[in-house]
Amino acid sequence: MIRKYALHIALIFTLSLLPNNAYAQIHNSEIEGKINAVTNSEFIQLIGSAFNKTEISASIRYTLSVIRTDPQTGNRTRNQQEGRLVLEAGQKKNLSQTTIDASETARIIVLLLLYDIDNEIVGKDRIVINGNEADKELAKKTNEKVYVSPDASFSAADGVELRGLILEETKTRPGREFYRMYTDIYRALNINGERVVLIKEELSLANNTKIDVFIGSVKIVEFIVRPQNEYLTQMVEVAIRRTNKYFNDLRSGRYAVKRY
């Protein structure tokens, strides 16, 4: 009897944890939060971004918090930036940024949280600078980023990996302008894709030209070139959105080759 009662209590306790665990697993599944780092010998620039992986628009609220712990006194300070925006389907946007002195010795946590219209957390990312051993152990379980020191944390890994390459084969001024606009946004959003992007312009009907955007051998965008800046801006937005979706699908295994 006592054993049955104990099992019953254990079962209730386990079931009570399921909603929280299940919800925790859906973070970043539809709206992904990411903190990208740009560094040099003087500073570390951290840029928070949000990526809508779904096929519908989403209204979100975000907070980017910087939490410092003084290594001498243990005192903590917290600064926070926040805002709201609407993300179209497949759209990625930079939200907010903060800059940290590269010589900083304090333990710093940078935390990005994304909330839906019901004020539930749907996306998040976290970076620890000057992290300790406990931070590194936690990072192994959560895939978070821990930088033990600003100098060592951003050193290149061994080996060579070609990422984030964009090749150009354009023929006209509007074609070159499209390439420039696309590349600027690609870099600003730190897409850093695993496959080469090719922007190729070629002759079409009636002496017009068309642009094809390839990722590897897959064509993701095709359109007739028009010189109007507003039109080119719209096509860049479409191309960036489809680029993000392609790389997201690639990373999720959608394009994996099945072997039997």
Residue 37: give its domain's CATH number. 2.60.40.2420
Domain that holds residue 217: 166-251
**Which tens digits make up the pLDDT trace of 168-205?**
999 999 999 999 999 999 989 988 888 889 999 998 88
For residues 83 and 173, state if they share a domain: no
Domain-located, residue 158: no
**CB atoms near residue 16 (< 10 Å):** 9
Q: How far, CA to CA in Å, does 134 sit from each of 37, 137, 138, 183, 218? A: 22, 5, 6, 39, 43
Question: What is the SS3 assignment for 16?
Answer: helix
Domain-located, residue 132: yes
Burial 206-244 (b: 16+ CB within 10 A, else e): eeebebebbbeeeebbebebeeeeeebeebbbebbbebb
pTM here?
A: 0.63
Q: Rounded to an integer, what distance in angstroms lies between the CA atom of residue 75 and that of residue 104?
A: 15
For residues 127 and 195, state if they share a domain: no
Q: How far, CA to CA in Å, does 221 sit from each of 78, 207, 214? A: 44, 20, 7
For residues 61 and 133, state if they share a domain: yes
Partners of 169 in the beta sheet? 200
Q: Which two tokens stand for residue 29?
A: 């599944």
Q: Rounded to an integer, what distance in angstroms lies between the CA atom of residue 195 and that of residue 189?
A: 16
Domain boundary among 153, 186, 215: 153
For residues 176 and 124, state if they share a domain: no
For residues 189 and 138, state if they share a domain: no
For residues 170 and 98, state if they share a domain: no
pLDDT at 2: 44
pLDDT at 45: 87
Domain-located, residue 239: yes
For residues 114 and 43, state if they share a domain: yes
User: Count of domains in the chain?
Assistant: 2
**CB atoms near residue 97 (< 10 Å):** 15
Residues whose CB is less than 8 angstroms from the CB of residue 99 and which lie 6 or more positions away in sequence, other chains included: 43, 44, 45, 46
Strands (E), 26-185: 31-39, 43-52, 58-69, 76-87, 92-101, 107-115, 121-129, 145-147, 166-169
Domain-located, residue 36: yes
pLDDT per residue, tens digit, the chain (260 aa), is: 444 444 443 333 333 333 333 333 478 889 999 998 877 777 888 999 999 999 999 999 999 999 888 888 878 888 889 999 999 999 999 999 988 887 888 888 899 999 999 888 899 998 888 876 666 666 665 555 665 443 333 333 323 345 788 989 999 999 999 999 999 999 899 888 888 899 999 988 878 899 999 998 899 999 999 999 999 999 999 999 999 999 998 888 765 544 43
Partners of 109 in the beta sheet? 67, 128
Domain-located, residue 182: yes
For residues 59 and 109, state if they share a domain: yes
Domain boundary among 130, 153, 176: 153
For residues 242 and 137, state if they share a domain: no
Domain boundary among 101, 125, 153: 153
DSSP strand pairing (31-39 vs 76-87): unpaired
Q: Which two tokens stand for residue 157?
A: 């890994």
pLDDT at 139: 61
For residues 219 and 146, state if they share a domain: no
Q: In what order do the strands lie in the sheet with 209-215?
A: 166-169, 197-203, 209-215, 218-224
Give the helix ranges, DSSP H, for 46-172.
133-142, 150-153
pLDDT at 61: 94
For residues 186 and 227, state if they share a domain: yes
